Amino acid sequence: MTDTFKSIVIERVSPELDSGRYPVKREVGETFEVWADIFKEGHDLIAAVLKYRTQRSQSWRDVPMRHVDNDRWMGSFLLEENTRYIYTIEAFPDPFRSWAAEVAKKIAVGQDVASELSEGMALLRQTIARLSGRDRQALQEYARRLEDAPTQADAVGVAGEPELEGLMTRHLDRNAATVYDRELEVVVDRMAARYAAWYEMFPRSQGREPNRSATFQECEARLPAIQAMGFDVVYLPPVHPIGRTNRKGRNNALEAAPGDPGSPWAIGSEHGDHKAVDPALGTLADFDRFVSAVRARGMEVALDFAIQCSPDHPYVKEHPEWFFRRPDGTIKYAENPPKKYQDVYPVNFYGEGWEALWDEMKSILLHWIGHGVQIFRVDNPHTKPVSFWEWLIREIQAEHPDVIFLSEAFTRPKMMRVLAKVGFTQSYTYFTWRNFKQELMEYLTELTQSEMQEYFRGNFFTNTPDILPEILQHGGRPAFKLRLVLAATLSSLYGVYSGGYELCENAAVPGTEEYLNSEKYEYRVWDWDRPGHITDYITRVNRIRRENPALHAYKNLRFYPSEDDNILLYGKMTSARDNVILVAVNLDPFAPHTSVLHVPLAEIGLGSEETYQMHELITDTRHLWKGSANRITLDPAVEPAAIFAVRRWTRREQSFDYYF
């Protein structure tokens, strides 16, 4: 026997992204299944193991794989740690099991197997020679029994004992192994990477006084309300000092009026750089206290990471080589002709000082990680080199695997995907602009059912400081409610920008998706009790999310037929089917619609003639349905959406709930 060539074919390994060029993603606590085609020439039986280790460990563990069907094998292990795991596959000829199978066939047709029995004994002896301890003794006992067997048939009977096969397979000759060409990687994130409700707020607008910035202390006062609504992440736009040169005024005016605070994305001034906080918000110590207060309420802070500088940023003087220069030596501001962003200098990732620049960017993240931040929402990553992000995220997560990166890339689909592949934990999506049934189904199916599910986690924002979508501008309160339900139940990750989402704020700069009087350029004071607010509705939807584990998963989304084009029907269930959620949404905020819904009885595990309970969780009402086809009417003026927990209608429930 030689090990100088690979005798076993191992291919079509799944999951495997772009031949292992990029890692796939999972979350702690999941069982990780690895599939592969594994086969060899001829009739020899083979065995295979799935090998894995964490990135910090040099020693492999392995679990046996089993043959499922048609040369397809599967093995699995539990992802216990928030880290990167490496995995690969090894397969071996299994001469003893091959021999046992052959000799059993021969004895069954009455052939003499004296020679075969000697061969089997030789295999046994070879294995014994390699072993010590208990297994060696057990095999020696088997060898004795084989030799002493009164008849050939008895010997073949001993040879076929499962314990013997188990021992021999456990101690296969690994020298004959074929090792899969590639070592693959799975990034195992903590659960917040997959399941979280985000609340985006401008800290400077969390006070009661117009014309001055609120402070981190004032922000703390908002936390009980945010916690009560059920959010998990409090996301802050940049909190750093804002430049004065070319500062933008209200509604993006070219010149700021005295007292205008400027865009927080124009970072850096004489008060400091990306590692400082805007003095108007407080001190670093105030920031730390705010972070602790958020933590104390079971939430966490997400910070904006925007790589750009105001003309007053200290880098401009200290590192002019990090910027784009004109032939006359002046530094170029950002442009997207004909638009000009005079208050922002983009950074040159290809300039002479690029290595120092990359290191400096890393040090910014480490700085904020040191101040308790574990989530970064990254501004416009698609305008920086993809290689930079791959390097940066890997560097950070090597030491801090709990850090989560959200990519704010609203751009071409392939760029959005590759940013997720190179490391972004989550990504913004096109959800914000998908309003109709067919486009929602197509897009969500792509996100959750195609290969994208291996690496791209869509964080569904209803709105952002830059995007007040048309449906919210014109659809009123029903639109705010239905878009919230869609975001919160289509994806396990979603967010709202609180620049009035709970207040149904819908005033836009005419003809644009920009907010009128946007917080990006001025202080706002919000009346959180303003009539028409949907705070209670948000609270209820977030509680429904929390109480139903089916809604904590991302890839379990399935669409089901509803006969009306305005009504979208979809569901999520746990793999044990002990939590089954069906959601029906009227996508038209203006008019009631009625539709027959087709409940997927077989998938849920219900009989076609069985009565079952549909517990509508927003209104907390219960309905008894039977059969697949059931009619529903959704009036947006009352409730544009229904979230049903589907339950088997058992005798016990009957006795309690019959009249509800």
List interacting residues with a copy of itself (CB under 8 A). 1-2, 5-7, 9, 11, 18-21, 37, 39-43, 70-71, 102, 105-106, 108-109, 111, 115, 118-119, 122, 181, 326-328, 335-338, 350, 352, 354, 382-388, 391, 412-415, 418
Cβ pair 461, 501 in contact under 8 A = no
Q: Residue 527 has which token pair?
A: 């009346």
Q: Known catalytic residue: 286?
A: no
> Cis before residue 15, ω within 30 degrees of 0?
yes
| Amino acid letter, 401 | P
Question: CB 441: neighbour CB atoms within 10 A?
Answer: 15
Q: Which is nearer to a copy of itself, 33 or 352 (CB)?
A: 352
CA pair distance 500, 481, nearest whole angstrom: 13
Least distance in angstroms from the C-beta of 105 to a copy of itself: 4
Q: How distant, in Å, are the alpha carbons of 80, 98, 299, 404 from that of 188?
A: 9, 38, 21, 11
Which sign, positive or negative, has the C-alpha torsion 387, 392, 395, 401? negative
DSSP 550: G
| Amino acid letter, 294 | V
Q: Which is nearer to a copy of itself, 387 or 445 (CB)?
A: 387
- Among residues 535, 499, 526, the alpha carbon closest in space to that of 514 is found at 499
Q: Which is nearer to a copy of itself, 335 or 442 (CB)?
A: 335
Least distance in angstroms from the C-beta of 367 to a copy of itself: 24
Least distance in angstroms from the C-beta of 300 to a copy of itself: 29
Q: Residue 274 has which token pair?
A: 């990306």
Q: Which is nearer to a copy of itself, 43 or 134 (CB)?
A: 43
Return the CA Rg of the chain.
Answer: 31
CA pair distance 426, 231, nearest whole angstrom: 17
Q: Which is nearer to a copy of itself, 281 or 422 (CB)?
A: 422
Cβ pair 499, 519 in contact under 8 A = yes
Least distance in angstroms from the C-beta of 461 to a copy of itself: 22
User: Given 260, 379, 502, 616, which residue is catalytic?
Assistant: 379
CA pair distance 535, 500, nearest whole angstrom: 11
Least distance in angstroms from the C-beta of 141 to a copy of itself: 22
User: Given 273, 408, 505, 564, which residue is catalytic?
Assistant: 408
Q: Which is nearer to a copy of itself, 388 or 430 (CB)?
A: 388
Q: Known catalytic residue: 527?
A: no
Least distance in angstroms from the C-beta of 557 to a copy of itself: 25
Ramachandran assignment for 561, one of left (phi > 0), alpha (psi -120 to 50 degrees), beta (any other): beta
Q: Counting Cβ atoms within 10 Å, is residue 309 exposed (0-12), middle (13-18) or buried (19+)? A: buried
Q: Which is nearer to a copy of itself, 58 or 118 (CB)?
A: 118
Least distance in angstroms from the C-beta of 39 to a copy of itself: 6
- Among residues 493, 509, 495, 464, the alpha carbon closest in space to that of 265 is found at 464
Q: What residues act catalytically?
A: 379, 408
